[in-house]
């Protein structure tokens, strides 16, 4: 990126470009202060005990391995540069570490510091973009985050029909 048009002026100083990018995305993703509906008296469906047990169960190696093998080998490497081809190729060697990471999350409900890092990268929509509206932001997240998200979403898929009306 050689520079950008920020607030109508061309800037190419790296510090000014960074500031412009930060301001642009802070504004774009800022939560508005609109009146939000209150759901205080709405009666929601509840999960049955069996579904709750499914959601809260410890992560099994078979479900984790299934998720890993569903991911594209070289798609979307995370900030660490690792992709699923590496994880699949060394599965026998690293599976215990992957399962231990997921168990830590299961017990504590949070990632160890630094494990949830992500980067935003800007993909140009046109040949020579001049402003940030001509870029598509994508977030690079690590494989461990992707594995956890897919395992949890697979579990949710099995229970959502019980709590959301058709």
pLDDT tens for 9-59 read 999 999 999 999 899 888 888 887 777 788 888 888 889 999 999 999 999
What is residue 76's predicted lDDT score, i.e. its pLDDT? 64
* Nearest in space to 77 (alpha carbons), one of 138, 21, 149: 138
Tens digits of residue pLDDT in 128-158: 899 988 999 888 888 888 999 999 999 999 9
Structural contact between residues 73 and 91, judged by C-beta atoms closer than 8 angstroms: no
Q: Does the pLDDT of residue 166 top 90, yes or no?
A: no
Q: What's the structural domain count of the chain?
A: 1
38 in any annotated domain: no
* Average pLDDT of every residue of the chain: 89
Tens digits of per-residue pLDDT, 47-90? 999 999 999 999 999 999 999 999 999 876 777 778 899 999 99
83: in domain: yes
Give a yes or no: residue 67 inside a domain: yes
pTM of the full structure: 0.76
From CA 98, how far away is CA 143, in angstroms rounded? 10
- Residue 35 in any domain: the answer is no
For 95, the domain range is: 4-28+47-163
13/119 Cα distance (integer angstroms)? 21
- Cα 128–chain centre separation: 28
For residue 15, what are its two tokens? Answer: 């510090």
Structural domain includes residue 145: yes
C-alpha to C-alpha distance for 1 and 95, rounded to whole angstroms:
39
């Amino acid at each position: 990126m050689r520079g950008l048009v920020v607030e109508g002026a061309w800037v190419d100083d790296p510090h000014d470009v960074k500031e412009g990018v930060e301001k642009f995305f802070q504004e774009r993703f800022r939560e508005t202060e609109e009146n939000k509906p209150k759901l205080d008296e709405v009666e929601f469906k509840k999960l049955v005990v069996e579904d709750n047990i499914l959601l809260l169960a410890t992560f099994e190696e078979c479900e984790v391995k299934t998720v890993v093998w569903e991911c594209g080998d070289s798609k979307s490497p995370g900030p660490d540069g690792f992709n699923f081809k590496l994880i699949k190729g060394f599965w026998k060697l690293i599976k215990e570490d992957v399962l231990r990471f997921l168990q830590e999350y299961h017990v504590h409900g949070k990632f160890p510091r630094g494990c949830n890092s992500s980067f935003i990268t800007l993909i140009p929509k046109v040949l020579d973009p001049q402003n940030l509206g001509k870029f598509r932001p994508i977030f690079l997240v690590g494989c461990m985050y992707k594995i956890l998200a897919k395992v949890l979403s697979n579990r949710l898929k099995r229970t959502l029909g019980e709590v959301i009306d058709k």
